[in-house]
Amino acid sequence: MAVPTIAVVGRPNVGKSTLFNRLAGKPLAIVDDRPGVTRDRREARGRLGDIPLRIIDTAGFDDADATRLGTDMRAQTDAALREADVCLFVIDAREGITALDQAFGDVIRRSGKPVILIANKAEGRAGVDGITESYALGFGEPVAISASHGEGMGDLHARLTQELGDFDRLDDDREDEPPLRIAVIGRPNAGKSTLINALIGEDRLITGPEAGVTRDAIAVDWLWDGQRVRLHDTAGLRKKGKVNDRLERMSAADTLRAIKFAEVVLLLVDAEHPFEKQDLTLADLVLREGRALVMVLAKWDLVPNRQAALKELQYEFERLLPQAKGAPLVPVSALKNKGLEDIMPAVTRLHRDWSAKIKTRDLNDWLQEMVSRHPPPAVQGKRIKPRYLSQTKSRPPTFVLMCSRAADLPESYKRYLINGIREAFDMPGVPIRLIVKGGKNPYAKG
């Protein structure tokens, strides 16, 4: 059954993202005292009491902002209004009604959608005069709340129940299959939002030539070939030494969180200047988190001798990141819609291998062959004996090797075994974890 869609709208810095986080039940949106932090519209599933919700957080655009970015932010808010079943129009009770609140009220009124006026920041006895003033907006009695403290949520539930009327409130969170979660990362201004817009075929995310347009990690739901996909657009990550601004640090933390919750990560690099130090740092971070990695080579239309260039880049990538040997490199031009059709097949192949489980018997037959072909070196005249190998988990594939003198097994031999697993069981590009433990084969007789 359908879940009601709630758009949280209002001028900048009235607490829309704080209310969004409160309804979502987790800190999804970046919150800061500065106005204009939210730019794209962000969506999440949430709940207010017994009411399941689809919530949309919107940009607090300024009517006086005539820049292209300001226009795009306004368009994102208009799109949220069109999708909403109910609008939560948020004002700052402590500041009272401003000219921009009145302008926003006119925009919302023209949408024709049901509106609940929210007087936020009204904790304790704060904002009494602002609440009284808000009647002049013409949306009836305001609901006084404090989104940061959770006050007034019961009153909001009562009003929302009234506005939704007979809306069927059966919870549809029980999807047959969870979506495939993909994070799109890269340096600032790499073209991440442009790539997502090109993939889904709509201008869902704000783009622009200036770096830092995206601040939050924005989730976009998409249906590809019958499969549910959740794409996470992220803020560009710079070198730590260059990140001085508090808001940028919060954006970076949001991006890192998106990587941790992703299953596959698309790392966007400039094909004309690939594999710079920051690109390699990001790729290493993804692999250390155990995520499956796809390298997307952007601006491929600008590269001469493309076939030879791709071969050279594949060699260079595996030399610089041997732990990702075999990871797919997908050349694209998002602006010209070239190569986009190759991304999702590469993602699904990699995701399948990342989720793979290998039978213990097959692993140990393989281990016996690998050890007989190339036994571990002796340490201080004593042999190291690998005894037993098993897979303990997938996503990423994780193996435990039972071995005598486990602490002395060289890193080079571990790499030998990991590369052997990757090759023998056809798992190119997948991060593989190998844990070495001392002890005997628990399944051995005697």
* Residue 335 belongs to some domain of the structure: yes
| pLDDT in the model for residue 60 | 63
* Residue 213 belongs to some domain of the structure: yes
Q: What does 37-100 look like in DSSP terms, one character per residue?
A: ---S-EEEEEEETTEEEEEEE-----TT--SHHHHHHHHHHHHHHHH-SEEEEEEETTT---HH
Binding-site residue ranges: 10-17, 57-61, 120-123, 186-193, 233-237
| pLDDT in the model for residue 168 | 54
* Residue 339 belongs to some domain of the structure: yes
> Which residues of the chain fall below pLDDT 50?
1, 29-39, 64-70, 169-175, 206-216, 243, 247-248, 445-446
Q: Are both 75 and 93 inside the same structural domain?
A: yes
Tokens coding 109: 């009124």
Report the SS3 class of residue 183.
strand
Binding-site residue ranges for GTP: 10-17, 57-61, 120-123, 186-193, 233-237
| pLDDT in the model for residue 420 | 94
Q: Which domain holds residue 383?
A: 360-437
Contact 262, 232 (CB under 8 A): yes
Q: Are both 199 and 121 inside the same structural domain?
A: no
Q: Are both 245 and 102 inside the same structural domain?
A: no
Task: Please state the domain count of the chain.
Answer: 3
* Residue 442 belongs to some domain of the structure: no
Amino acid at 350: L
| pLDDT in the model for residue 233 | 81
* Residue 443 belongs to some domain of the structure: no
Q: Are both 190 and 309 inside the same structural domain?
A: yes
Compute the distance between CA of residue 350 and CA of residue 344 in angstroms, rounded to an integer.
Answer: 10
Query: What's phi and psi for 193, nearest 5 deg?
Result: -65, -40
| pLDDT in the model for residue 46 | 86
* Residue 170 belongs to some domain of the structure: no
| pLDDT in the model for residue 254 | 66
Contacts of 369 (CB under 8 A, 6+ apart): none
- Which tens digits make up the pLDDT trace of 412-430? 999 999 999 999 999 988 9
* Residue 272 belongs to some domain of the structure: yes
Q: Are both 225 and 341 inside the same structural domain?
A: yes
